[in-house]
Each structure stands twice: as C-alpha cells, then as structure tokens.
A and B are shown apart, each in its own frame.
Chain A
Amino acid sequence: MPSSRNLTTAIEGRRVGWISRRIDQAENRAGNRRWYGGLLAAVLAIGLWWLLSASGRFSTMLLPSPEQVVAAFKQSVTTHNGQPGILGSYLWVHFWASLRRVLIGLAWGIILGIPLGLGLGLSRVADRILGPVVEFLRALPPLGYFPLLILWFGIGDASKVWLLALASFAPITIATAAGVAGVRNERVNAALVLGANRFDMVRTVILPSVAADIITGVRVATGFAWTTIVAAETSNGLPGLGGLAWASQKELRADIAILAIIVIGVTAVLSDALLRLLERRLAPWKGRA
C-alpha cells in the first residue's frame, strides 16, 4: 500500500520536524514561544468558557459565567455585611494559608531531601539500604497516608505540613542523588589531585555540580506539593485555597471553586517559571561544557 506508506513517512517526517523545532526552541532561549503559547491557550480557554456559558445550555449553577467568577473575586477581596471576603476570609488570607503550608512543607522536604540525596549519591551502602525506602515513599499516594498523619499530628496545620514534607522530600532526594551520580568523573579527579578530602569534595565540586539538579527536584516537589495541599485542605482546610474549593461545593458556589482553581493554577505556573529561571541561572553552562 504505497499510499499509506507515504502517509506514515509524511507523519514521521512531520514528527522529525516537530522534534527538531522543539530542539531549536530550546536552544533559542526556550521561554518566549512558550509564553505566547500559554497566553494563547488561556485566551482560547476563557473564550470557550464564555461561549459555553453564554449559550445558556448549562445551568449557571454548574457552569458559572466569567462575569460570575469576577464577581466572586470581587467578593473575595472586599467586606460584605461585616463579613470579610469569602467563606470567612479574604482571598489573600486563603492564598497565604495554602502558600505558607506549601513553603514550610517544602522547606522540610529540602532540609531532609538534600542531605539524604547527597548520602544516597555518595555512598553505595546508603543507596542500597535507603534507596528502596525512598522509592517506596515516592510511589505512595500522599493522601493514602494522610489519615495516619492526622491521627498522629491532629487535624491542624502540623499534619498538613508533615504531609507536604513527606510528599516533597522524595523527588528532591532522588533528583539530588541522580545529580551526584552524574557528576563528571574528571571534576572529581581534578579536585582529588589538588588535595580535596571528602568534605572539600562535597563543598567545592559536588554541591555546585548538583545545584541545578536540586532545583529540578524542588520544581517537581513544588508541583507535587500544590496538588497535595489542595487535596489535603479538603479536611479542615479553611482558610486555604483547597478548603475554599471544597467548601464551595456545599454552598453550591461553582464560581468560588473556579476562582480557587485559577489562583492555584496561576501560582503553580508562576512558581514553576521562577524555579526554571533559577535552574538556568545556576547552570548556564549546561549543554555547553
């Protein structure tokens, strides 16, 4: 069947073109086009949403219009009949409550994950013994062990922060360990020849070599932490963005849920962009040396 064959070739040709375009993009300072793409996607999504809700086919209870969400936003940052914002707090209070949990959880994840990752990367024995434990923890869905944490640490912030610390340390550990394993042998040898001891080696060669890998791990962990915290805030999560989204269901306020989702999404995208920037700052030689 020559025609189908041509079709495959054509598709593969396209795919090759697509791949090489991706590589070109990456080389020509990745960012720009992705930004335009993201903006375009957002505009399209909002347009589609607006069309669907304006069509009148769906109840505004289930699919609120963009105007309703804007109104919910206005409500969330103002006072009504002496009531602050929305569901008991201003939007920024909800936001800060979630961000604070994410930041503290991540901080613990970093504090635990980096030394553990260095240990796993530097010591074969540690890797043999602790590596599987870390892999196992990473494979567990965090919400699976959340009930246990609630039993141990109560329904307050402590259990949520623990949840995030546990959820985020594994990707950071694994990224750090992988980074250490990938440190160029010549660099290590060069420092050894110049008289580096183990401590010198970690300080002058290993840590700077893996700085960007660590940030990659933190980036993965941050995404993970946001999805996890929002889910975790479904129990006693007010104030908090997850709590906000969850409680909106009882109030039959889909507009609040959408507002919360937008805030979470924008925050996640921005923190990801920030960390990507940091990644490139920390290793501008990647792909060059």
Chain B
Amino acid sequence: MTELQTHGSADLVLDGVGHTYQSVSAPPVEALAPVNLTIAAGQFVVIVGHSGCGKSTLLEIIAGLRPPSRGRVLLGGAEVVGPGRRRGMVFQQSTSLLPWRTVAGNVALGLELQHLPRAERAARIERELTRVGLTEFAQSKVYELSGGMQQRTQIARALAAEPDLLLLDEPFSALDTFTRELMQEELRTIWKSEAKTVIFVTHSVEEATLLGTRVILLSPRPGRVIYDHEIDFSRRDLPLSELRADPDVVAFVAELRNRIGGEKL
C-alpha cells in the first residue's frame, strides 16, 4: 500500500544505515558504517568500492532483503521493511535465474507472482526480450546461454516488473571485456529511455564514470562514504567506446582511482 501511494518520484533516503554481521561462531563483522544519503528519483547512482567493503550488503538493505542493524531506509517517506515490487534487482551471479525455466519463463516470474492476466504477461515478456535482444532465445534453457545473455535475462526479468528503482549488484563483473562493454552500452540506452532511478554497484571506476550521474565511493570495510560527486559523461551523445577515450573521462577515472586508494580495483 505504502509503495503504491508513493509510486512515482519517490526519493530514497538512507538515514544512518549501517550493518554488522552477527555470528555465533565468529566475532561480529562490521560490514557497513552508518551511511547517510539522499538519492533523487531519476538518478543513476554508482556505488564504487573495494571488494568486501559492504556494497552488496547496502544493496540488500535497500532492496529490503536484509534489515539493517542500524538506521532506516525511507522510500518516498515510508520506511522500507521488506522487498517490494517497486524495487527491482539484478544480481551479480546469473545463478539467481531459475534453471528449470526458459528465458521467457524467468522473465515471467515476477509477472506471475503479481497475478497479471496472461495477455499482459505475454506483452511485457515480448517487450523486455525485444529490449534486451533475446526474442529468438525466448524458449532457450537459461543454463545453455552465454554469461552475457544470462545477465540480459536478469535485466529483462527485473524490468518486466516495472520497478521505479533498479538495483544492480556488479551485474557485468563476471563477463568478458567485450561483452561487458556491450552490456554497459545497453544499460545506458535502457536508462535513457526509461527514466528510472538506478543504483549500480561496481568495483570498476571506469564503469562508474561511464554510466553514472553520481558516483559514490565507499571506504574499505566497514564501508563509509568517502566521496560523493555528480557527473554527466553518460549523457553525452557519444557511444561508450568513444566516451571511454574522452580526455575528461580519462582524467576523472584517474581521479577516482586516486581517491579510492592506489590499489588496482
């Protein structure tokens, strides 16, 4: 109900959100130091940080999959207490797909759970598969697809449910360079045509620079926001392959790399 009322331009507010993993057998792990952020609707926010700095933890908290041990997440003023259909998620591993379902069957999952009428479901599946270029593979088994196609299926599945907020957790990190660049371009196109709020987690400063309208750097564990900056390279009317070589982009990538610490990311 709350999500229906706030549907539309719902700002996302992280109010002192932090997380410590408790375990019976091991000492507690502080994964995420308290984070305060306000993310306006329509932004493409990229969260960058070293592996293990709490990026996935943060996304899971925003998705409502993990109650934070400190602070609150507010979406359009209402506290997030669980997952909701207005927030879609694309996972790092394509093992989040259901291997006993076809590509179309996977895209249909959220639509079935919403009990949408058959015709509506078919229309949305068609639309999303066309968008990600998988119409020919609608009836393929997902475990027979390439990694890039599996991630496209995940994106189609998330978009079919028509979320306002799309969360992506290192969605391209398991792909080869060529496929990754292709997918980055596709995601940029989708974001431009859909005007959704996107929160994109990556450990690649270049990916962050090319895609984001706002870059947030997290410190090593426990993750803290160490840098928060608005950019607009992705809005330039250039293919990513050319944007990549743009001197401004190259300079900003170098600056980010500097800020996050000399380590190779």
Footprint of B on A, CB under 8 Å?
184, 186-187, 189-196, 200, 204-205, 208, 211, 283-285, 288-289
B143 adjacent to A204 (CB under 8 Å): no
> Is there contact, CB below 8 Å, between A184 and B96?
yes
Assembly CA distance A195 to B160 (angstroms): 13
- Give the complex CA separation of A46 and B32 in angstroms: 69
Partner of B98, one of A193, A195, A208: A208
Report whether B89 and A195 are in contact in the complex, using a CB–CB cutoff of 8 Å. Answer: no
With A184-B95, A189-B65, A289-B143 known, 5 other A-B pairs at CB within 8 A are: A189-B60, A191-B113, A194-B85, A194-B157, A195-B161
Q: A184-B95, A204-B109, A205-B98 are in contact. Are A192 and B141 (CB under 8 A)?
A: no
Q: Mark B96-133, 1 if CB is under 8 A from A, else 0.
A: 11111000000001101110000000000000000000
**Are B91 and A191 interface neighbours, CB within 8 A?**
no
Interface residues of B (CB under 8 A from A): 60, 63, 65, 83-85, 87-89, 91, 93-100, 109-110, 112-114, 141-143, 157-158, 161
Instruction: List, in ascending order, chain B residues with CB within 8 A of A200's CB.
Output: 113
A195 x B114 contact (CB < 8 A): yes
A195 and B96: CB pair below 8 A?
Answer: no
- Minimum CB–CB distance for B167 against chain A, Å: 8
| Residue from A184, A195, A196 having most chain B Cβ neighbours under 10 A | A195
Tell me which residues across on chain A come within 8 A of B109, comparing CB atoms: 190-191, 194, 204
Q: Give A244 to B95 CA distance when docked, in angstroms.
A: 51
Please tell me if the beta carbons of B96 and A186 are within 8 angstroms of each other in the complex: yes
- Beyond A289-B142, A289-B143, is A190–B114 a contact (Cβ under 8 Å)? no
Say yes or no: A204 contacts B113, CB within 8 Å. Answer: yes
Chain A minimum-CB-distance residue to B96: A186
Residues in chain B near residue A289, CB distance under 8 A: 94-95, 97, 99, 142-143
In the complex, A211 Cα to B98 Cα: how many Å? 13
Instruction: Name B65's closest neighbour in chain A (CB-CB).
Output: A189
Q: Known contacts A192-B83, A195-B83, A200-B113; is A208 also within 8 Å of B100 by CB?
A: yes
In the bound assembly, the distance between CA atoms of A211 and B99 in angstroms comes to 12
A187–B95 touching, CB < 8 Å: yes
Cβ contacts under 8 Å, B89 to chain A: 189-190, 193
Q: Which residues of B contact A187 (CB under 8 A)?
A: 95-98
Q: How far is the CA of A174 from the CA of B114 in the complex (A)?
A: 33
Q: Which residues of the partner chain B approach A189 to less than 8 Å between Cβ atoms?
A: 60, 63, 65, 89, 91, 96
* Assembly CA distance A200 to B110 (angstroms): 11
Instruction: Tell me, in angstroms, the Cα distance from A276 to B47 when the chains sit together.
Output: 46
Which residues from A are CB-within-8-Å of B158? 193
Give Cα A216 to B217, complex, Å. Answer: 47
Residues of A within 8 A of B98 (CB): 187, 190, 204-205, 208
Which residues of chain B come closer than 8 Å to A184, judged between CB atoms?
A: 95-96
Least Cβ–Cβ distance between A287 and chain B, in angstroms:
10
Q: Tell me, rounded to whole Å, the shortest Cβ–Cβ distance linking A278 to chain B.
A: 14
Give bound CA distance, A208 to B97, whole Å: 12
A186 touches B113 (CB 8 A): no
Picked from B84, B96, B99, the residue with its CB within 8 Å of the CB of A190 is B96
List 24 A–B pairs whose Cβ atoms lie within 8 Å, in order of A's numbering: A186-B96, A187-B95, A187-B98, A189-B65, A191-B113, A192-B65, A192-B83, A193-B65, A194-B85, A194-B109, A194-B157, A195-B85, A195-B110, A195-B114, A195-B161, A196-B113, A204-B98, A204-B109, A208-B98, A283-B99, A283-B100, A284-B141, A285-B99, A285-B143
Chain B nearest Cβ from A141, distance in angstroms = 35
In Å, the complex CA distance between A180 and B96 comes to 15
Please, which residue of chain A has its CB at the minimum distance from the CB of B144? Answer: A288
